[in-house]
Structure 1
Amino acid sequence: ATDAASDGAYGTALAQLALTAAALVLLLRVWARHLTRLMTAPDGSTLQSDTGPVRERGSAGLARWLPAGRTGTTMERTLRYVWRDPKTKAAWVTSLAIGLIVPVFNAWQGTGSVYFACFAAGMLGIQMYNQFGQDTSAFWMVAMTISSTRDAYVELRARALALLLITLPYATLVTVLTTALLDDWRALPEALGLSFALLGAMLATGAWTSARFPYSIPQEGYKNVAPGQVGLAWVSIFGGMIGAALLCAPVIALTIWLNVSEGAGDTGWVLLPVGAVYGAVLTLLGLRLAAPRTAGRLPEILTAVSKG
């Protein structure tokens, strides 16, 4: 619209602005309708199943595709939270919607950058923060199964793997879609590498802050933080986001260097494997650092997440 107006095509510019506004209003209406339904409609955890055998078969069908042992059980529980818990589902819907709208709309208008696709990885990576808060007082059942640092590590790793089942393909899809709209396929490996590195950094800081700054999420009303824990939530989320950005600094610096260096040539594809490996290493290190702190702070975590 800006380019059309600068060329004197005011009718075209007005039509583009109207089309953009209509699309935005439509998306907001759909988003608001889904949020209202999520917050008011009964979910599977409050409805009685018709028959026991059907429920057992459904659980077995889902678990069949997951790893055996504690990892698969924790992954299944985490995914059920995403589907059944109203506030968890609302947070996921919001992150998925905003993570798609920001890069795609900017690319559609021709004013964005392929690197805006990293917004999707950032929005989805936030879901790793305050992992134990979604358990509320039921966290005591998880705490009873953690007797060592190894148990805590497996618990956190399984939660991260469950999130990756959604975040990794979604971030990849948003990046490819943004690249297609901008027709800048040369920058696709760079954007994917940055997205993977950012996602790994968010998972790492999310695991650590979940153990260090847990807070309760009230189940009733429109509050997302229990009274007296707002400071904890701010430190957990914004501190973790700043930490994730700092952890991604090497990949960001490499991206800038490859784009401004005259001798770099067409080597941007290197960022894809570098970003993927770097993000995976960050995630593993974050889980390793968070595991002993989780195992040593189980009573404190239970107290913090039970205040809602």
Structure 2
Amino acid sequence: MRRPSRCNRRGGTLLEVLGAVTIVAVLAGLLLPALQKAREASTRTKCQNNLKQLALAAHSFHTTRHGFPAGEIAFGSRTGAVVGEDYYTCWVIPLLPFIGEENRAKAMAETTEFADRHQGGRSSLYGAPIRTLICPSDTLPVTGAFEYHSPDPTNPTHDARFPVGRYDAVCSYGANWGTRTFRYHPSEVAENNGVFHYNTRTRVTDISDGISSTILFGERSHREPRWQFMGAAYPAQQNFAVFARWYTGGVFTGRQPHEMINYRLPPSVESTPPTQGTPQWNDLFHKRLGSYGSEHLGGCNIVLADGSVRFVADVLTLTTLHALSTKSGGETILAE
């Protein structure tokens, strides 16, 4: 009787294994960029929807209050302050009821002194993130201890009232203050040329450049958190995230040639976080803190005063950016 033959088992050769690995690597190389592109498209769309919601909220406020909210809203006074109206908040607070945050808005309205917002359990009002105000691509943490910013850069004793090092009330978007750092003094308020002013409401009829040619809100990237603070010349203010929070948020596109979209400090400067002495207050404001930007590839989202959202490339000229930032400058905007 013939003995049954054993099944011949054929093992894979090294060459076959390497071939399979190569095929998998090629497929992964093809799929990963596609997945990343799809993810970026999704986050960009969510970000654009956030800006649309903010624009709708601003126009709803305009309808009920006959003007857009003030960019900076001051109230009260403190003895010895250079700026008399020293307690303040920003445009986000009046818009809260229009973005589904009625309860938080009501609770905040009952807070008479925003400078004491870290006391009495009120920190929960600011600590919980508002997703409409956060771009999914933004890298900044969304919770943490309070930080505070006062409009008085010459007297740091007016500022350091809150713990530092983490972030609350994060906002990925800034209101359009125009082409200048915002003016606080009554004699200078008229110099503000953006849509959002200090203690002043802008009406649609005030935007003579046209609501389809004027920025309302834009993205404000926090890609370099160590530069998101006010000025190392004032040690009490270090690590204070000036534009990181939604209770003091704004953007200005200054006249310096380095404030283009997604502007980043030169490598020779950004390699070392600020220390005592330099950069000074104005150096930080004009070089980094006032610029639009995002974590999206190639540019950032803005929403115009007519409610339309645009993705603007980071190669947009500063001249065009300035023209889009003024509400009544009379500039001619060329297609780019």
User: Per residue, is there more strand in 1 or in 2?
Assistant: 2
**TM-score by shorter chain over 0.5:** no
For normalisation by structure 1, the TM-score amounts to 0.30
Which one scores higher on RCO, CA 8 angstroms, separation ≥ 6?
1
Larger radius of gyration: 2
Which has the larger helix fraction?
1
Normalising by structure 2, report the TM-score. Answer: 0.29
